[in-house]
Amino acid sequence: SLLLRDEELAEIQKETGFSANQIERLYSRF
């Protein structure tokens, strides 16, 4: 699974509106 840096997480949250937990779950599938 991919580990995202805080900056990357913040950017994804800003672009998608997802919460950090949702993003982590999404990335843990790959």
What's the number of domains the chain is made of?
1
Measuring CA to CA, how many Å separate 30 from each of 14, 16, 18, 27? 21, 18, 17, 6
Q: What is the DSSP string of 5-27?
A: PHHHHHHHHHHH---HHHHHHHH
C-alpha to C-alpha distance for 21 and 7, rounded to whole angstroms? 15
Q: What is the mean pLDDT of residues 8-28?
A: 89
Which pLDDT band holds residue 17 (cuts at 50, 70, 90)? Answer: very high
Q: What is the mean pLDDT of residues 20-30?
A: 83
Structural domain of 4: 1-30
Q: What is the mean pLDDT of residues 1-28?
A: 85
pLDDT of amino acid 30: 67
With 0.75 as the threshold, say if the pTM is over it: no
